[in-house]
Amino acid sequence: MGSISWGCCVVLLYVALFLKPFPILVKALPGSYWSANTSTSVTNSFPTPDSVKFDDGSFVSIILSSESNGYSYEHTCHCGFFCNQTCDGSLFAIVRIPLKGGDISKSEGSTVVWAANPTNPVSVNASLKLTSERGLVLTDANGTTVWSTNTSSKSVAGLNLTDNCNLMLLDHNNATIIWQSFDHPTDTLMLKQKLMAGQQLISKGGLYSLALTSEGLSAYINSNPPQRYFSGYHNFDYAGDTVKANSSYVQLNSENLTLFSQGLILVLTSPSDFSLEYMRFEPDGHLRAYGEANYAYDFLTRRIRDCDYPTVCGNYGICTNNAQCSCPPPIKGTSYFRQTNDKLPNNGCSLITPLSCEDSKYHVLSELENITYFPITYYPPKINPNHQHINLETCKQACLKDSSCKAVFYNSNNHMRNCYLQSQIFSLMPTDAGQKNYLRVYIKVQKKKSSDGAELGVGGFGTVFEGTLVDDTKVAVKRFDGLSQIKKSFLAEVETIGSIHHFNLVRLIGFCAEKSHGLLLVYEYMSNGSLDKWIFHRNPDMLLDWQHRKKIIIDIAKGLTYLHDDCRHKIVHLDIKPQNILLDENFNAKVSDFGLSKLVDREQSQVVTTMRGTPGYMAPEWLSSVITEKVDVYSFGVVLLEILCGRRNFDRSQPEEAMHLLAIFKKKIEEDQLLDLVDKYNEDMSLHGEEVVNMMRVAAWCLQNDFTKRPSMSIVVKVLEGVVNVESNLDDFFLNPPLPNTRAGVHNQ
Ligand SMILES: *[C@@H]1O[C@H](CO)[C@@H](O)[C@H](O)[C@H]1NC(C)=O
Ligand SMILES: *[C@@H]1O[C@H](CO)[C@@H](O)[C@H](O)[C@H]1NC(C)=O
Ligand SMILES: *[C@@H]1O[C@H](CO)[C@@H](O)[C@H](O)[C@H]1NC(C)=O
Ligand SMILES: *[C@@H]1O[C@H](CO)[C@@H](O)[C@H](O)[C@H]1NC(C)=O
Ligand SMILES: *[C@@H]1O[C@H](CO)[C@@H](O)[C@H](O)[C@H]1NC(C)=O
Ligand SMILES: *[C@@H]1O[C@H](CO)[C@@H](O)[C@H](O)[C@H]1NC(C)=O
Ligand SMILES: *[C@@H]1O[C@H](CO)[C@@H](O)[C@H](O)[C@H]1NC(C)=O
Ligand SMILES: *[C@@H]1O[C@H](CO)[C@@H](O)[C@H](O)[C@H]1NC(C)=O
Ligand SMILES: *[C@@H]1O[C@H](CO)[C@@H](O)[C@H](O)[C@H]1NC(C)=O
Ligand SMILES: *[C@@H]1O[C@H](CO)[C@@H](O)[C@H](O)[C@H]1NC(C)=O
Ligand SMILES: *[C@@H]1O[C@H](CO)[C@@H](O)[C@H](O)[C@H]1NC(C)=O
């Protein structure tokens, strides 16, 4: 190198760099030094043919390369403008390129080890300038200074890139390092590079940080406040040596990561013979060292478990052994969570009904039992003094009042009673069986709004609006709540529903899936509304006579028969109730909301293990066995009885012994007094008492406890049309106590 005169060579170097193909160039021209005497600046341009292309499509336009003595190095370091794939923005970065037979054009294993502006990419025509007064200055195309080395106090002679990827600003004698990239690490530590106390590595994307603090090497997730999940002193091994030096730092060596601190040398040793070359703090919070022959060693995972990483199962995900991820189970029968991505359980879970500020009165804190949040017990974060030593109720209230609070972690230990309000929930884990666990985990969830006295639960599918199409056709638009993302599988399902046509099914005219609105389903408009408006009232102007009621009953039965038997895809409705029976202008009855339960099932990780439907209409087998289309037959039986009796299945306005329709129905059957139950506010019904009572026997058949004894819907249609007789042996008759009623079942907080 001694014979080359550097003062004029630099300019030549540039020309050469961008003209000659790279592999040859690196061998022929050492270019590790850039003199500050030349006033040249380098401009960021789109990738040229000479740029080095990475496996993933990224490019680097090289400004300076570490000096390589022919083939003797196993890798080379280069600095320049790096742009990732689309080249929307560039970083001034150092890349490390392994040499494969001296050829850097095979860039496999290449990696960015440092960047000046990791969070502020610059555009095309940005420039990098080296001056003796200011050192390196990176200026965006519009003239904004994005980054500089801030070396104004010292005169810079030149810039040198070492073969260990350290970029340094040197003085005139090459004696003093005025600035070096090793003092400003990003996410990577090179061999022999020191991470000093007070410095930190920040993972790409900024989620995690690793710093040397008074408590050793500590890893944090940058939540608000940051939450520690690894701490060096507890996990490093004592090397048996002491140091005299006072400074604290960690350093990567070829066999270990060594921590010098408080007079001690502590060490994490790599078990392999392969030499380590660099170490990166990665976007998943792992600290991995990489070495020759693609060797990788995870320093932290040898000390903490997979489930100890905060984002191992994404938000709200529960991590069990070997990083198996799942969503929180239903809480008291209601599912609140679904997988964010069906195929990727580690992506975490989200709320089926997202929390919305307008609906804050429906927010409740639901306990996840036997679940813990690892870091809080090991590494308690800073606590708001007002949240210390308070009772659980005060803690929960504080969270409910604070819209940024998404969960509460409460340390119920009597000496603590600490309340941690969380604005973000990372991965959770089950408590160790048999261990005393003081931590209580409460997640903020949003209950569905109630409608018409009945809680809809998961089975209730959103809000209905009236709409008009461009051709003036009136339509009903149903917004399918709780879908933040529309997936292809849903759309296929919606298309299936749309392809089902029957006179007694409300027709789906179209749908629209949009990020901002979720899923909108457009249905034919039914001018006379839902059946409940017609049968549960005492308004003499809106009385339905016996002929109309009979017709409505047969219509419902035909609609259900079609769903169960006639279409290509058997569909179990799961939520038959008067609110889901709609009437058109001629009082033709049509079943609505079919197929939607299927969409909900797709949404959830537990298929039909979740109770579904509306209390009061749900078949007894929901409590125990297999769910078949016979659950709809049961619900149909309840609706049938309500139509015949002109009252709700559960009616608080009745005397206590008569509140439950099924209970008095059973009693009246035994007493052979069914006529007492016929809707007495409707003269026409009383007039046809005999026929009405006959139809009550169909209801009794549908309400059999044993689902195998219930008729199919097609049989029901035949009975109603007088073709088949009612089964006479109806002894196993809904003996179960009535299912939990609405209030008891849902208001569980
Ligand atoms: C750079 O310029 C200074 C004077 O400005 C001179 O003393 C020095 O020798 C020059 N360095 C090189 C490497 O040309
Ligand atoms: C500059 O870097 C090269 C390797 O690229 C190295 O050989 C040389 O010693 C470095 N110069 C100084 C002054 O550090
Ligand atoms: C480029 O960006 C993609 C996607 O953001 C990322 O996966 C990849 O690691 C990046 N490449 C480099 C070399 O940083
Ligand atoms: C970059 O600068 C060149 C020369 O001034 C100009 O022709 C070109 O349009 C600029 N590119 C962008 C993207 O601004
Ligand atoms: C320059 O562009 C960046 C984005 O590339 C922008 O943030 C900044 O405000 C711009 N500065 C000026 C002075 O226009
Ligand atoms: C340079 O110094 C200025 C003022 O002293 C400071 O605001 C800026 O953040 C520094 N830039 C860097 C890259 O350190
Ligand atoms: C400083 O080091 C570089 C490369 O290592 C060399 O080219 C340059 O001549 C040196 N400058 C002086 C003044 O020694
Ligand atoms: C090391 O630091 C301690 C406290 O910071 C100080 O008391 C001691 O004098 C220092 N020792 C040396 C050798 O610098
Ligand atoms: C760490 O590794 C280096 C070699 O890379 C070795 O010299 C040193 O003794 C090791 N330190 C400990 C404490 O094992
Ligand atoms: C939680 O654990 C306790 C004790 O092991 C057990 O009784 C209880 O049923 C569990 N709760 C849930 C929801 O699994
Ligand atoms: C039922 O529908 C018909 C036809 O649209 C309409 O005239 C009538 O007012 C409706 N009845 C009620 C009570 O809404």
What one-letter code names the amino acid at 617?
Answer: Y
Q: How many whole angstroms separate alpha carbon 25 and alpha carbon 41?
A: 21
Decide if 586 contacts 618 (C-beta within 8 A). no
When comparing pLDDT for 742 and 369, which is higher? 369
Best probe residue, ligand 5, of 117, 123, 127, 140 (max atoms within 8 Å of C-beta): 140
Residues 6+ apart with CB under 8 A from 371: 318, 328, 428, 429, 430, 431, 441
Determine the average pLDDT of the residues in 66-84.
Answer: 74
- CB-based pocket (< 6 A), ligand 3: 54, 56, 58, 84-85, 112
Burial of 435 per CB tally in 10 Å (0-12, 13-18, 19+): exposed
What CATH code would you report for 532-720?
A: 1.10.510.10
Helix (H, G, I), strand (E, B), or coil: what is residue 276?
Answer: strand
Best probe residue, ligand 4, of 42, 61, 81, 125 (max atoms within 8 Å of C-beta): 125
pLDDT of residue 683: 85
Q: Tell me the three-class secondary structure of 621-656, residue by residue.
A: HHHCCCCCCHHHHHHHHHHHHHHHHCCCCECCCCCH
Q: How far, rounded to the nearest angstrom, does the alpha carbon of residue 127 sit from its chain's CA centroid? A: 40
| pLDDT above 90 as % of the chain | 40
In the chain, which segments carry CATH 1.10.510.10? 532-720
- Ligand 1 binding pocket includes 253 (Cβ within 6 Å): no
Determine the average pLDDT of the residues in 547-562.
Answer: 95
Statement: residue 690 has pLDDT above 80: yes
Residues 6+ apart with CB under 8 A from 429: 307, 318, 319, 320, 371, 372, 373, 374
When comparing pLDDT for 147 and 20, which is higher? 147
- Name the closest ligand to CA 32: 2
Determine the average pLDDT of the residues in 650-676.
Answer: 88
pLDDT of residue 461: 52
pLDDT of residue 601: 45
Best probe residue, ligand 2, of 4, 6, 33, 62 (max atoms within 8 Å of C-beta): 33
Of the candidate ranges 143-152, 540-549, 728-737, the one whose mean pLDDT is the lowest = 728-737
Give the other-Cβ count within 10 Å of 188's Cβ: 23
When comparing pLDDT for 736 and 630, which is higher? 630
pLDDT of residue 480: 65
Of the candidate ranges 33-37, 101-105, 198-202, the one whose mean pLDDT is the lowest = 101-105
When comparing pLDDT for 380 and 368, which is higher? 368
Question: Using CA positions, which residue lies closest to atom 11 of ligand 2?
Answer: 160
When comparing pLDDT for 286 and 745, which is higher? 286
User: Would you place residue 69 in the very low, low, confident or very high pLDDT band (cuts 50, 70, 90)?
Assistant: low
Give the other-Cβ count within 10 Å of 354's Cβ: 13
Whether domain 188-304 has CATH 2.90.10.10:
yes
Statement: residue 749 has pLDDT above 50: no
pLDDT of residue 41: 83
Most confident of 319-333, 348-362, 431-445, 636-650: 636-650
Q: How many whole angstroms separate alpha carbon 287 and alpha carbon 94?
A: 20
Question: Using CA positions, which residue lies closest to atom 7 of ligand 1?
Answer: 172
User: Would you place residue 324 in the very low, low, confident or very high pLDDT band (cuts 50, 70, 90)?
Assistant: very high
| Chain segment 393-440, per-residue pLDDT in tens | 999 999 999 999 999 999 998 888 999 999 999 999 998 877 788 899
Task: Given the residues 481, 575, 593, 601, select the one marked as catalytic.
Answer: 575
Decide if 589 contacts 595 (C-beta within 8 A). no
Of the candidate ranges 13-22, 241-250, 355-364, 722-731, the one whose mean pLDDT is the lowest = 13-22
Q: How far, rounded to the nearest angstrom, does the alpha carbon of residue 114 sit from its chain's CA centroid? A: 31
- Ligand 2 binding pocket includes 67 (Cβ within 6 Å): yes
Whether domain 450-524 has CATH 3.10.580.10:
no
CA of 57 to the centre of ligand 3 (A): 9
pLDDT of residue 303: 80
Give the other-Cβ count within 10 Å of 270's Cβ: 21
Does the reported pTM lie above 0.75? no
Determine the average pLDDT of the residues in 471-480.
Answer: 74
Decide if 346 contacts 317 (C-beta within 8 A). yes
Give the other-Cβ count within 10 Å of 76's Cβ: 23
Is the Cα torsion angle 483, 487, 490, 496 positive or negative in sign? positive
- Ligand 7 binding pocket includes 35 (Cβ within 6 Å): no
Give the other-Cβ count within 10 Å of 453's Cβ: 12
What DSSP line would sit under 713-738, residue for residue? HHHHHHHHTTSSPPPS---SB--SPP
User: Where do we find the tokens 């308004």?
Assistant: 539
| Chain segment 101-120, per-residue pLDDT in tens | 555 555 567 889 999 999 99
Say how many residues make up the chain: 749
Determine the average pLDDT of the residues in 337-350.
Answer: 91
Statement: residue 442 has pLDDT above 90: yes
Q: Does residue 575 carry a catalytic annotation? A: yes
- Name the closest ligand to CA 149: 6
CA distances from 87 to 58, 79, 90, 261 (A): 8, 17, 7, 42
In 3D, which of 727, 677, 720 has the Cα closest to residue 701?
A: 727
Q: Tell me the three-class secondary structure of 487-527, residue by residue.
A: CHHHHHHHHHHHCCCCCCECCEEEEEEECCCEEEEEEECCC
Share the mean pLDDT of the chain: 81
User: Would you place residue 375 in the very low, low, confident or very high pLDDT band (cuts 50, 70, 90)?
Assistant: confident
User: Would you place residue 66 in the very low, low, confident or very high pLDDT band (cuts 50, 70, 90)?
Assistant: confident
In the chain, which segments carry CATH 3.30.200.20? 450-524
Of the candidate ranges 1-5, 121-125, 233-237, 431-435, the one whose mean pLDDT is the lowest = 1-5
Q: How many whole angstroms separate alpha carbon 101 and alpha carbon 340?
A: 45
Statement: residue 247 has pLDDT above 80: no
In 3D, which of 93, 78, 92, 82 has the Cα closest to residue 163?
A: 78
CA of 175 to the centre of ligand 6 (A): 25
Question: Using CA positions, which residue lies closest to atom 1 of ligand 11?
Answer: 528
Statement: residue 176 has pLDDT above 70: yes
pLDDT of residue 454: 29
pLDDT of residue 50: 64
- Ligand 4 binding pocket includes 398 (Cβ within 6 Å): no
User: Would you place residue 518 in the very low, low, confident or very high pLDDT band (cuts 50, 70, 90)?
Assistant: low
Structure tokens at 529: 């509304």
Helix (H, G, I), strand (E, B), or coil: what is residue 108?
Answer: coil
The dihedrals phi and psi of 241, each to the nearest 5 degrees, come to: -105, 155
User: Would you place residue 206 in the very low, low, confident or very high pLDDT band (cuts 50, 70, 90)?
Assistant: very high
pLDDT of residue 488: 59
Determine the average pLDDT of the residues in 471-494.
Answer: 66
In the chain, which segments carry CATH 2.90.10.10? 188-304
Question: Using CA positions, which residue lies closest to atom 11 of ligand 11?
Answer: 528
Statement: residue 304 has pLDDT above 60: yes
* Orientation of helix 546-561 relative to helix 689-702, angle to 10°: 20
Determine the average pLDDT of the residues in 500-525.
Answer: 78
Q: Tell me the three-class secondary structure of 15-45, residue by residue.
A: HHHHHCCHHHHHHHCCCCEEECCCCCEEECC
Helices (H), 277-391: 374-378
Ligand 1: nearest atom to the Cα of 36 = 1
When comparing pLDDT for 639 and 8, which is higher? 639
Question: Using CA positions, which residue lies closest to atom 9 of ligand 4?
Answer: 125
